[in-house]
Structure 1
Amino acid sequence: MSSIQLPDPTSWGGALLLSDLGIIQAEGADAASFLHGQFSQDVNGQPADEARLAAYCSAKGRMLASLLSLRPQPEQFWLLTDAQVLPGLLKRLSMFVLRAKAKLADAGASLSVVGLLGAPAGASLGEAAQATQEAAWKVQAHGQGLLVSLPAVLGTQRWYWVGPKAEAQALVSSLPAVEPGAWAWLDVMSGVPRIEASTVDQFVPQMVNYELIGGVNFKKGCYPGQEVVARSQYRGTTKRRAFVVHAEQVLSPGQEVFSLADPGQPAGLVINSASVGGVHSALVELKLSAIGTDLRAGSADGARVVLGDLPYPLPSAEEAA
């Protein structure tokens, strides 16, 4: 496989409606405490100006959903998650509300998520963009919605805007269009995983680097799967991690990846994938022992897969594994 020439996204800019993201609204006097007891994140202590990644896990510590939590009001939360995962997540969470003063609902009929990218979006957002560009996951009110800074990718700034559907549509219409494939590719390159329908119940958070990017709070106390997640953290070096890869063909979430050093069993699983300009990239969970070996997609006879660069470091002991 020849060396891959990655696209330069610094010239990309504009907006698009992110229909692949859904929003659960949680509100009520007990909303914070209820969510705090369900997620891997400190929800009780979440300030209004900070978005927080969170995992919702099974009792075995496997991620049933990945979320981004926003707190527009002290007793209200907007939970961004994969649109196809949302129905099952909402149903499962609702089972455990019981007597808590918390109401959960799919907010898709009233709220939308807009992806904003690059210099054109930054210029349009003005002071709100400047207020959030210092670091990822900062939140600023903008219009009737919330603006969230995302991790910059290859020198390109990105944001979510979350708010009323009519205002979302007006925002998208006011800026150049961004291709969905380009946005998805930047998501992959950011190294921030999203649990999709095909990968529900597959990964302990550490297997997809979730604790490295702030998605797990190890001091917050109990939640489903907490003992497994904590044990994975403290029993020794993690044996599997997420890596950015590039391939000769399109990869699919849930697709297995094989190492020719041990072709009899899968070495990993595709988490998220995207293609832009003929470049096929993915975030893939891999055994650390497979790093440096010949990797193939789908089977030992499949298309070659090569490692790319994560935008954040792995723990040094694992890098050397």
Structure 2
Amino acid sequence: MSTLPHDLARRRLATGLALGALGAALSPLGAPAAEPFPAKGRTIRIVLGLAAGGASDAQARFVATKLGEVLQTPVIVENRPGASFILATEEVIRAAPDGYTMMYAPSSVVAQNPQTLANVRYDPFKDLTPISLGARGPLVLTVHTSVPARSVRELVDYIRANPGKIGYASFGTGTSSHIYGEAFVRQAGLDAVHVPYKGGADAAKDFLAGRVQFYFDAAPNAIQNTATGKVRMLAVAAPQRSPLLPDVPTMGEQGVNGIDMASWLGFYGPAHMPAPVLDKLNAALAQVLAMPATRDFFRQGAYEAESSSPAALAALTRATYDQWGATIRKLGLTKQ
């Protein structure tokens, strides 16, 4: 038997070790082995298309803190306000589908914007991955106390007596607060002016100052604004009264129907997220949203923290999209 020269034997040994290491890093199909998710110390971003300081921002930040504890990695909230959540949504869509970028979005982003805004270039069913439901809660019709109305009927009479002089705020064009306001104005045959803002915090400044007179606001903001003594809650825009606002009647109870779809918020990522990453995020969010501390925090604003499977959120997205589509067509609203 021949003996290999010492240098050749050493080179073959080195080559064999390198190939062995490469083989260990490859899956049976020859693809690189997946990096554990999340990688230690790598930051997860929750993008929010609203300015800091509103109810959704507070919810997102609370969840981010708890999610970071569960996943043992930093989780931060990045505010990308403007264009009715379009800027934030497009940023998430462009991100790598690796689980490190997701958004916390109200239902309007996936169910209303694509049907009411001409500059929406995303498809909510093709360009996003549903991860989990986050919360449910009603919008509340509120008025500034300078308006002498203590019911929906009295507000209608007041607006009719002041045509073109009464303004209503919204989180932004095409958002839930805008569509609810537009539906209310059209159904009652009113002449009122829509004033869009970049989020609840910005809208609240002018609303509390009395520069706009009424506002379909998220329940947490409505509660905070009412506590100042400058705002009055007239009705919840939901099928039933909220158990957390039992003294506030629904719009339907006061003779205004069709504005009764409860709002919700959900977590979405870019399209084509890998199943193991999606499952890990979904399980972690379910753990966070079930925590008593999370439930208590959300209930302070008349919202219920609630998780779901990705499939359930996908079905809810489709159902809400279809419901709003019917309402938008009935009202004759066109894309703006």
User: Into which bin does the TM-score normalised by the smaller protein fall?
Assistant: under 0.3
Q: Provide TM-score, normalisation by structure 1.
A: 0.25
Say which one has the larger Rg: 2
Q: Provide TM-score, normalisation by structure 2.
A: 0.25
Higher RCO structure, 1 or 2 (CA under 8 Å, sep 6+): 2
Query: Is the strand fraction higher in 1 or 2?
Result: 1
Query: Is the helix fraction higher in 1 or 2?
Result: 2
